[in-house]
Structure formats: C-alpha cells, structure tokens
Amino acid sequence: MGREWNCVGDGIYQRKGVSDFSLRQIYESGQAFRFKEVREDTFLVVHQQHWAIVSEQGDTITLQNTTLQECEDVWNRYFDLERDYHTLKQSFLGLDDYLDKAISFGEGLRILNQDIFEMIITFIISANNHIPRIKNSITKICEFAGTPIGEYDGEVIYAFPKAEQIQKLSQEQWDGIKLGYREKYIKKTVDMIVNQEIDIAQLPSLDTLEAQKELMKLSGVGEKVADCILLFSMAKYDAFPMDTWMKKVMQRYYPDESMGNIRRVRSLGVELFGSFAGIAQQYLFYYEREQSKRRK
C-alpha cells in the first residue's frame, strides 16, 4: 500500500484505476452540500479543515492543494476509494428490476464519509426543505461561524463550524441564515452536544439501531434525518432513509407491501436489499429524482 497516489506537480496528486466514480453524480445525489463547481467538471471540495480542487479524467482522479499524507489519511476515506463498488453493485443486480436500472443510471455514485457533526446540522436543515435552500443556509453558516482555512480564486474557504462556534452567532446572523422554524432545533441540538448530553464521537461504535436511537434524542432529528447521518458520516449502510422520493418509489413499485406505512416500507427496503440497503437507497433516490427532473 501507499503507492496509489502519484505526485504530478506542486501539491497535485493523482490516483489511477478509480472506476465506478463520478464527481457530478455524487454532487447531485443530495448527500454533499460542500461541493462547488469552480469550472466545468472540476469541484472545490471541503472536508473538516481540508480542501482540494478535484477533477477526473477517465479512471483517474486528480486533487490539487493536497499532500500525499492527506490523500492517504483523509481523501481515500472521504471518497470511499478503498471500497470495491463494482463488486458491491454486482451483488445488487437481479434483486429488483427498478434497482437494476437505477444502478446503471447512477453508475458513478458513492457514499461519502463526511463529518458527523456537519451531517447532523446539515440534515436537520434538510427536513421539509429544498436542496438549493439547504445549500444556501449551509454556505452562510460556514461564512458566519466557520474558521477560514484557505483561499481559492479570490474567495475565502471556510471550514464547517464547530458547535461552540455556532453558539456564538448573533441573532442578526441567525436571521441571515434563513433556517425558518429549524433555527430553534439547531440551537437546541448544538447546546446538547456542547453540554455532552450525547457523545457523538462514540456513535460509530454503536450498532445502527442504537446509534439511531441516540441521534433521535437531538432536537430536529427524527428517523429519516438520523438515517442520513448514519449513512453519510458513519458508513452505517443498513440505515435506509425514507424521504418523500423513496416513498414515491416504494409505493409505485411495491404498492401491496407498503400500503402507505413508512416504517413498514423502510423495513421492506432493508429486507429486500440487506446490510447494504442504504447504498441501494442512494441509487434509487438519485434515479428517481433525476427522472423527475427530466419530465419537466
């Protein structure tokens, strides 16, 4: 190991042989709100205190503003580059016609390993909200409370703020973030985390249902938001977020089993797709949403 990344310039590293990977699909699949397309097919990606300019050329991905150590210690895990998605997708094929189509459509999707606290705040904001609005709110939270970690193309790059930094926001800043009724949820949740009422660092060591139960103690975190947090920051692939899109999918294709009961549909998903149901869910979510866009 350790020979995956090659230096091809000052702060520029490449990794070859990365198949089943599409930055655009990952970006548009509703899991990452801190990608910014700085030019055609090139993205500024921020993760914790790290940032990089990321692009892909066939099976090669290129990162700028990084180091070998950062590639190995941070970006490999963030982009889930060590996982064999080809084999994973093979294991899904033939289970279900609609999933087969969804996988072929979203062939470059991956589940990112993002920061736990960031996912908690992000998906509280996501509840009953539009994706562009979610992204705007998150951008403002970072600008108002986050630590500057760099600059690119004349613009300052901010880390996602820590809980303690969010506590210091003024009311005018809160108003500017436009969270609506979710503002009080975030305030409460941030207080609970600072006061150690729940220890989020310890969540990954719990099994999925226990971790979900813990997360749901937080204000604004219900079953679906908890599942998103588990899936996108803790690699808990047996979490199966049931949102409005998945309800449409499941009720259209499995009307008998679902009968409108969300919790029953969720367990059906896990029953159908097993311990990687959450990844299957992401293919279904992306496919359904893109199909809906194209109908317009």
Partner DNA sequence: CTCCAGGTCAAAG
Partner DNA sequence: CTTTGACATGGA
Contact residues toward DNA (CB under 7 A) are: 29-31, 126-134, 175, 178, 180-181, 184-185, 216, 218-226, 228, 241, 243-246, 261, 263, 281-282, 285, 289, 296
Q: State the nearest-atom distance from the C-beta of 277 to DNA, in Å.
A: 11
Q: State the nearest-atom distance from the C-beta of 224 to DNA, in Å.
A: 4
Tell me the C-alpha distance between 70 and 195, whole Å: 31
In the bound state with DNA, the residue whose beta carbon lies nearer, of 53 and 203, is 203
Q: At 101, list the tokens.
A: 């189509």
Q: State the nearest-atom distance from the C-beta of 269 to DNA, in Å.
A: 10
Angle of helix 116-126 relative to helix 131-145, nearest 10 degrees? 130
Question: Could you tell me if 120 and 200 are in contact, meaning their C-beta atoms sit under 8 angstroms apart?
Answer: yes
Backbone phi, then psi, for 108, in 5-degree steps? Answer: -100, 10
Angle of helix 85-92 relative to helix 277-294, nearest 10 degrees? 80
In the bound state with DNA, the residue whose beta carbon lies nearer, of 132 and 154, is 132
Q: State the nearest-atom distance from the C-beta of 243 to DNA, in Å.
A: 4
In the bound state with DNA, the residue whose beta carbon lies nearer, of 203 and 221, is 221
Q: State the nearest-atom distance from the C-beta of 241 to DNA, in Å.
A: 4
In the bound state with DNA, the residue whose beta carbon lies nearer, of 71 and 234, is 234
**Taking the alpha carbons of 285, 247, 119, 184 in that order, is the dihedral positive or negative?**
positive
In the bound state with DNA, the residue whose beta carbon lies nearer, of 33 and 51, is 33
Question: In terms of Cα–Cα distance, which of 289, 296, 285, 283 is closest to 110?
Answer: 283
Question: Could you tell me if 289 and 102 are in contact, meaning their C-beta atoms sit under 8 angstroms apart?
Answer: no
β-strand partners of 156 = 151
Q: State the nearest-atom distance from the C-beta of 130 to DNA, in Å.
A: 4
In the bound state with DNA, the residue whose beta carbon lies nearer, of 53 and 183, is 183
